[in-house]
Amino acid sequence: MLGLILFYLPSLLCGIHVVRTGREMFWLWLFIIGPLIAPAFYFLAVLVPSWMGGSGARSVGRAARQALDPERDYRTAMRNLEETPTIGARMKVAQAAAALGRWSDAEAQWALSADGQWADDPTILMGHAVSLLELGRHADALERLEKLKAQGPEGKTPVAALAFARAYEGLGRNEEADDAYRFAADRVPGLESGGRYVAFMAKTGRREDAEIGFTEIERRLAKIAPPLRPEARVWRDLAAKALGRS
């Protein structure tokens, strides 16, 4: 009996916190069906951010919630779109679909969002371009990016440069891709730009430069908070694969 009490004690304590603070009641069901893992996620998603505050803690909380229920944002966005079919609601669906890697769905939603007066909206152009890149439609993506660039500063950011680099690489325009990757590599937060640049350099025969870039990626990966590290490691592994490493 004592063992059973101790087994469910974390869930009980977290459940009391849920009720007292008025948080989402779905946590209580999760504590019942997952008495070990659910309290751990609750600790990272709710308790740590509430104790520590700040953007770093909030990022940890978002990562934990995403791992526990990855389709939650998508379901919410779809429900909101059905209730209020606005461009803003449709953009949220596209973003949520992209977060799940549902690139065909995301591309379709961005295309619908770009209808009429919203055709030149920078957020829609960038979101649509990224979805097209993920689908291997590099020429179509570049068309959206060029349209974005013509509008001004929104098309000249490091994030836009990374998208341009991917489009150029996909079209075999390696010199332009290299310039764009170099600009984006140290300016886009996270490891994606660096990982893609290392892979590009390895692919184009610049092994020594790629090795230097890979060392920097591993150094930065080691400094990322453990709950966020699996997502960042995707880009380390992309670079490692291009270099023939494990």
Q: Which two tokens stand for residue 75?
A: 């379901």
The per-residue pLDDT for 113 is 93
Sketch the domain layout of the chain as residue ranges: 2-68, 110-242
Q: CA angle, 23 as apex, 22 and 24 as ends, to 5°?
A: 125
Question: What pLDDT does 53 receive?
Answer: 47
pLDDT, residue 168, reads: 98
**Counting Cβ atoms within 10 Å, is residue 216 exposed (0-12), middle (13-18) or buried (19+)?**
middle
* pLDDT on residue 7: 56
Each residue's pLDDT tens digit, 23-41: 666 666 676 767 767 777 6
Q: Assess whether pLDDT exceeds 60 at residue 151.
A: yes
Average pLDDT, the chain: 84
Q: Rounded to 5 degrees, what angle do the CA atoms 153, 87, 110 make?
A: 65
Confidence of residue 69 (pLDDT cuts 50, 70, 90): low
Q: Tell which wins on pLDDT, 71 or 209.
A: 209
Confidence of residue 138 (pLDDT cuts 50, 70, 90): very high
In angstroms, the CA 40 to CA 33 distance is 13
Tell me the C-alpha distance between 122 and 118, whole Å.
9
Task: List the alpha helices (DSSP H) in the chain.
Answer: 2-21, 26-33, 37-42, 48-52, 54-68, 72-83, 87-99, 103-113, 122-134, 138-149, 158-170, 174-185, 192-203, 207-222, 229-242
Question: Distances in Å between the alpha carbon of 80 and those of 85, 101, 138, 163, 178?
Answer: 8, 20, 31, 29, 41
* Residue 40 exposed, middle or buried by CB count within 10 Å (0-12, 13-18, 19+): middle
CA–CA separation, 213 and 183 (whole Å): 14
Query: Between the CA of residue 118 and those of 85, 90, 228, what are the distances in Å?
Result: 15, 12, 34
- 158 band by pLDDT with thresholds 50, 70 and 90: very high
Nearest to 131 by CA among 163, 106, 165: 106
Q: Is residue 52 scored above 60 in pLDDT?
A: no
- Residues with Cβ within 8 Å of 221's Cβ and at least 6 positions away in sequence, in order, are 191, 229, 232, 233, 236
Can you give the pLDDT at residue 54? 45
Global pTM reads: 0.73
Q: Which CATH number is 110-242's, of 1.20.58, 3.40.35, 3.30.450, 1.25.40?
A: 1.25.40
Model confidence at 213: pLDDT above 90: yes
Instruction: Residue 203: name the closest of 189, 159, 195 by CA.
Output: 195
Task: Give residue-wise pLDDT tens across range 80-129.
Answer: 999 999 999 999 999 999 989 999 999 999 999 998 888 899 999 999 99
